[in-house]
């Protein structure tokens, strides 16, 4: 079959297809209703415990914890601070958000040390 003949056949097929036919294939099928799945009591209890552990601390609580740790050390590298946060179960994003907040308030200062590492120092 020549290229022109193929293009004509494809053109005829495409003109009858809907705009969203590529999503569902050549035929549009109605969505089937999903049945709710019931879970055993043990699974529900385990999920509840996991949810309790996953509840993030209040932003000010994280901010206070980060500030107290920086105050106790005086100067701390970013890597050390992140390792400390992971050991406490804090998310990196929450730690960075607390650092930005403390930095904007003037409570801590960001610097580069001699090795080129980012360090945070407490401002008295």
Q: What is the pLDDT along the chain (124 residues), one digit of tens a residue?
A: 688 877 777 766 655 666 777 777 655 455 566 666 666 666 666 666 555 554 455 667 899 999 999 999 999 999 999 999 999 999 999 999 999 999 999 999 999 999 999 999 999 8
* pLDDT of 112: 95
- Determine how many CB atoms are found less than 10 A away from the CB of residue 62: 21
**Where residue 68 sits, what CATH number does that domain have?**
1.10.10.10
Quick one: how far is CA 52 from the chain centroid? 18
Instruction: Classify 89 in phi/psi space as left (phi over 0), alpha (psi -120 to 50) or beta.
Output: left
In a domain, 114, yes or no: yes
Query: Based on the structure, what is the number of domains in the chain?
Result: 1
* pLDDT of 34: 62
Instruction: Summarize pLDDT for 61-97 with one digit per residue, the tens.
Output: 899 999 999 999 999 999 999 999 999 999 999 999 9
In a domain, 80, yes or no: yes
- Determine how many CB atoms are found less than 10 A away from the CB of residue 109: 14
Domain hosting residue 63, numbered range? 57-122
Q: Please, which residues have CB within 8 angstroms of residue 76's CB and are 6 or more apart in sequence?
A: 69, 70, 84, 119, 120, 121
In a domain, 106, yes or no: yes
* pLDDT of 10: 72
């Amino acid at each position: 079959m020549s290229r022109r003949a193929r293009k004509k056949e494809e053109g005829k097929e495409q003109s009858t297809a809907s705009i969203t036919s590529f999503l569902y294939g050549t035929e549009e099928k109605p969505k089937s209703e999903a049945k709710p799945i019931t879970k055993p009591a043990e699974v529900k209890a385990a999920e509840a415990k996991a949810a309790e552990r996953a509840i993030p601390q209040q932003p000010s609580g994280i901010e206070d914890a980060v500030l107290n740790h920086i105050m106790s050390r005086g100067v701390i590298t970013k890597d050390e601070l992140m390792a400390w946060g992971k050991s406490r179960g804090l998310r990196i994003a929450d730690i960075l958000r607390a650092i930005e907040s403390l930095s904007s308030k003037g409570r801590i200062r960001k610097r580069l040390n001699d090795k080129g590492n980012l360090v945070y120092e407490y401002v008295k």
